[in-house]
Amino acid sequence: MAYETIIVENEDDVALIRLNRPEALNALNSTLITELADALSEADNNDKVRCIVITGSEKAFAAGADIKEMAEKSFVDVYNEDLFGAQVQVIERIRKPIIAAVSGYALGGGCELAMICDFIIAAENAKFGQPEVNLGVVAGIGGTQRLTRIIGKSKAMDMHLTGRFMDAAEAERSGLVSRIVPTAKLIPEAMAAARKIAEKSQITVRTIKEAVNRSYETTLSEGIRFERRAFHSLFGTEDQKEGMAAFLEKREPQFRDR
């Protein structure tokens, strides 16, 4: 499908989605967020795609929601159109793993989009922030909830209340990003991680995603019970037999997603 504000490249088993509004530092306008949700759904439904990478440009992953588009809207406008609601729900429900490859600014909705992804690989030049306070609003795509769970209350309050930016090193120390790579190597490193995931059993990968995400939604004991059931259930798959046999036979597993 042809898109106006994103570019989708399918390489082997991985869909690489590039946000592409360089003139506005990939600010999330209604076209971009809708096209992103559509492209992610398409990738989720495409049997050839086993992992997804979302990235932006070197200067900006995304500088947040499009302020020019939002500035004149009233409460009634954003309430009635449920600004960001439908598209974000689609993105949150994608079952395949999504890596955010972040270079440059990931601010406001850009930081929130990266946090919806399953993990973040950051370039050395990455900067994260929730500067909505400077615009007289609060984050609206989960920033107050996800950032707090990821980096803790004190740092999350600092980021949201002051609107300051966090560099890649602080983001890694805080657990917001899984690793930092040289800026020029961001896409190759993210694609290599995605290809590694794509080699695994997709039933196992989806179960892992579901179980880790469950930890945000439930109590520790419920989460552990869910994990144990998930672990037991995978013994009903051919891929568990193959994975364990391959280890014992000292060979690489050939998973069939069954």
Ligand X SMILES: CC(C)(O)CC(=O)SCCNC(=O)CCNC(=O)[C@H](O)C(C)(C)COP(=O)(O)OP(=O)(O)OC[C@H]1O[C@@H](n2cnc3c(N)ncnc32)[C@H](O)[C@@H]1OP(=O)(O)O
> With respect to ligand X, which residue has the nearer C-beta, 50 or 127?
127
Using rule CB under 6 A, residue 140 touches ligand X: yes
**φ, ψ at 79 (rounded to 5°):** -70, -50
**27 a catalytic residue:** no
Using CB under 6 A, which of 51, 53, 101, 109 touches ligand X? 109
Using rule CB under 6 A, residue 132 touches ligand X: yes
- Point out the catalytic residue in the list 104, 132, 168, 193: 132
SS3 191: helix
> What's the closest the beta carbon of residue 110 comes to ligand X, in angstroms?
7
DSSP state, 96?
A: S
Strands 127-129 and 165-167: antiparallel
| Closest of 55, 46, 48, 151 to residue 94, by C-alpha | 46
Residues 6+ positions from 177 with CB-CB distance below 8 Å? 102, 119, 120, 121, 122, 126, 168, 171
| Closest of 41, 33, 24, 25 to residue 6, by C-alpha | 33
Using CB under 6 A, which of 121, 131, 181, 255 touches ligand X? 131
> What's the closest the beta carbon of residue 154 comes to ligand X, in angstroms?
21
Using rule CB under 6 A, residue 255 touches ligand X: no
* β-bridge mates for residue 51, sequence order: 14
Q: Could you identify the residue written with the tokens 């302020």?
A: 67
> With respect to ligand X, which residue has the nearer C-beta, 53 or 139?
139
Using CB under 6 A, which of 32, 143, 160, 203 touches ligand X? 143
Interacting stretch for ligand X, rule CB under 6 A, among 72-80, 108-116, 145-153, 175-183?
Answer: 108-116
Pattern 13-32, ligand X, x by CB under 6 A: -----------xx-x-----
Q: How far apart are CA 198 and CA 15, in angstroms?
A: 11
As annotated, the active-site residues are 65, 109, 112, 132
Contact residues: ligand X, CB under 6 A: 24-25, 27, 63-68, 105, 107-109, 112, 131-132, 135, 139-141, 143
